[in-house]
Every structure is written in structure tokens, then in C-alpha cells.
Amino acid sequence: MQEILDRIVAKARGHARRGRPASYIPALSRARRDLLGVSVFTLDGRTYHAGDHDRPFTMQSISKVFCLACVLKLRGDRAVFALVDREPSGDPFYSLVLLEYENGRPRNPMINAGAILITSLLPGRTSAAKFAHYMRFLEGVLPGKKLDIDPRVYASEFETGQRNRALGCLMKHFGVLQSATEDAVDAYFRQCSVRVTCDDLARMGLFLAGRGVDPITGRRVIAEGHCKTINALMATCGLYDASGDFAHRVGLPGKSGVGGGILAIAPGKMSVAVYGPALDPKGSSVAGFEALEMLSQELELSLYL
């Protein structure tokens, strides 16, 4: 396995030339393009990593997976899916178009509108209280590590995130958002700015490979049915308008983030995290996507074989 990961990182790294770091959040644009890290945690307790696996980066939209897990656990699927659908949007993550046509009801929790709505369901009135609740959940799936936010990335998104504010306002207008707009949007910005490494992220994803149980601690994190729902949403919507391409090339539930991370879950087998900050136009790590495709092929991980 180690030899496979080293070879994949060496081969995939060059693909970063085809992409660029996100620039619409200015603090992300300074990342080095040639970085590439991979980390694998298996359900039977083995870990492997290669390349820049211990470089911190911000979770960005990968946080949507964990926020959804936290809110599903707390509120149950009936309450959540009364407010948000479970269908792919086929649109970019920031799109406002469908939201107006569909009366403020987001297509799924993996696009920004859906994630802001899910964030509005976190307990607490203020963004600080919501974020604190989310962080407790996150630290529960990464025992022993104190997580923090990257203050530059948070400030940068806070200043420039007008589209996300617009999504929040539109949902508030339709009476769908469950808290004050600024609190939901700000808690969303904070959760996007949480810093992790590939090692952290692959560890955090293990319960999703284990039917909702963390195989290392033996603790049930979420119900089995919620785990199935999250994996299905990642598989159909996790890479936005590139979800079909990801299903075809990698064949696993996955979630991208514009910080350059991608989390992929092989149910019953392993959790894999990659990091490479150069993105394609749809907001996914170019080299990370390549690395996952190679890994999936080598280990025959695709669910669609």
C-alpha cells in the first residue's frame, strides 16, 4: 500500500499544473500549487500516508458533511428533509438560480444554500453558539486533537462572501432559514475555515465508512440510516456539477472543498483524504481527483464495478 501511495503522489502531482488555487476567497489564492498529500485510514485500524499529508488546509465545503451529520443526529431526518431536498442540482456550488424557482428550498445539503440552511438548524441563537456546537461534534470524531480556524481565511471569506449572504437572504425571504441570516452565514464561514490535515480528515471520515460507528473508539457517532443518507448525498451531490464525473472516475461517495481537500469514503473499507490546492473550474483539486482515480483503480474501490 505504501508503495502504491508514493507512486500515485509522484504521478498525480504534475496534474496540478492544469489548475489554480481558488481566488474568489483571496486568502486561498496564495497556496502553493505543487502540494499533494494523501492519507488512508482503514476500518481495521491501518493508516498510510504520502506526500504533503500533514500540511494544514481549510476544510471549506468538506465541513458540509460533518455539519449535516451533526444536525441529522440532533434533529432527525424528517425535520431536516422537510426543509431541503436530496437531489443533485447540476449547478455550481454557489448558484442562486434554482433557489428562487424552488421557493427557497435547496436541492441538497452539499451545495452552499443547503449547507447554510443546515447550519441554521444548529442549536444556539448566535453564530458563536452554533459554531461551538459544531466544533464539539467535530472534535468528537477526531479524539485528542484541538481544532481551530484559520483566521486569515475566515476574515477573507467574511469580507467577500456576498453570494453566500444572498443565498441566506433568499432563504430567509421564503421563510425557510431557521435562524437570523447573519448568524447562519457567519457560522457557515467559520466552519469552512476550520484547519485540518489529510491525516485528520481521513480519520474524521472513518465513521462514514463504518456504518456510523467509529471503529477505533467503538463509539456510535450517528445512526446507520443517517450514515447511508450522507454517503448517498456525497455520491450524488458531493462534487456539485462534477458529481457524475467523480462517480465515473472514482466511484465513491466524495466531498470536495475549495481549500483543495477531497474526502472519499469506501463503505466497509476505508476513508481517504487528499489535498492539492490547484482546482479545476468546478472547485475540485485537480491532482487530488487524479490521485483518487488512480487509487480507486489500483485497489478496485469503485462501487460501480
Does the footprint of ligand GLU cover residue 212 (CB under 6 A)? no
Distance CA 294, CA 69 (A): 28
Smallest distance from ligand GLU to CB 218, Å: 32
Query: Cα 159–163–165 angle (5° rounding)?
Result: 70
Instruction: By CB under 6 A, name the one of 192, 202, 230, 242 that touches ligand GLU.
Output: 192
Spatial distance between the Cα atoms of 287 and 52, rounded to a whole number of angstroms? 12
- Beta carbon nearer to ligand GLU, 42 or 243: 243
Q: Among 19, 37, 88, 257, indicate the residue that binds ligand GLU (CB under 6 A).
A: 257
In this structure, the strands spanning 47-51 and 37-42 are: antiparallel
Q: Does 229 bind ligand GLU (CB under 6 A)?
A: no
157 binds ligand GLU (CB under 6 A): yes
The footprint of ligand GLU on residues 55-84 (CB under 6 A) is 60-61
> Assign residue 213 a region: left if phi > 0, alpha if psi is -120 to 50, beta otherwise?
beta
Does 104 engage in binding with ligand GLU (CB under 6 A)?
no
Residue from the set 4, 74, 94, 96 that interacts with ligand GLU by CB under 6 A? 94
Residues 272 to 291 in contact with ligand GLU, rule: CB under 6 A:
283
DSSP 285: B
Helix (H, G, I), strand (E, B) or coil at 291: helix
Mapping DSSP to helix (H, G, I), strand (E, B) and coil, where does residue 72 land? Answer: helix
240 is catalytic: yes
Q: Which of 42, 95, 108, 112 binds ligand GLU (CB under 6 A)?
A: 112
Count of residues engaged in binding ligand GLU, rule: CB under 6 A:
11
Q: Which of 226, 133, 231, 259 minimizes the C-alpha distance to 184?
A: 133
Q: Which is nearer to ligand GLU, 191 or 296 (CB)?
A: 191
| Residue 184 to residue 134: CA distance in whole angstroms | 12
Cβ proximity to ligand GLU, 162 vs 268, nearer residue: 162
Among residues 295, 217, 284, 189, which one has the least CA distance to residue 251?
295
Nearer to ligand GLU, 48 or 275 (CB): 275
State which residue, 107 or 211, has the beta carbon closest to ligand GLU.
107
Catalytic residue among 194, 258, 272, 274: 258
Residue matched to cell numbers 500533514:
54
Catalytic residue, chosen from 38, 39, 63, 64, is: 64
- The smaller minimum CB distance to ligand GLU, of residues 149 and 258, is found at 258
| The three grid cell numbers given for residue 150, joined into one nine-digit string | 484559520
Instruction: Judge whether 228 counts as a catalytic residue.
Output: no
Give the Cα separation of 8 and 65 in Å (integer): 26
Instruction: Return the DSSP state at 220.
Output: B
Report how far residue 126's alpha carbon sits from residue 242's, in angstroms, rounded to the nearest whole number: 34
93 binds ligand GLU (CB under 6 A): yes
Known catalytic residue at 188: yes
Q: Report in angstroms how near the CB of residue 40 gets to ligand GLU at its nearest.
A: 22
Hey, which residues between 115 and 134 contact ligand GLU (CB under 6 A)?
none
CB of 246 closer than 8 Å to CB of 89: no
Q: Which residues are identified as catalytic?
A: 61, 64, 188, 240, 258
Interacting residues with ligand GLU (CB under 6 A): 60-61, 93-94, 112, 157, 164, 192, 257-258, 283
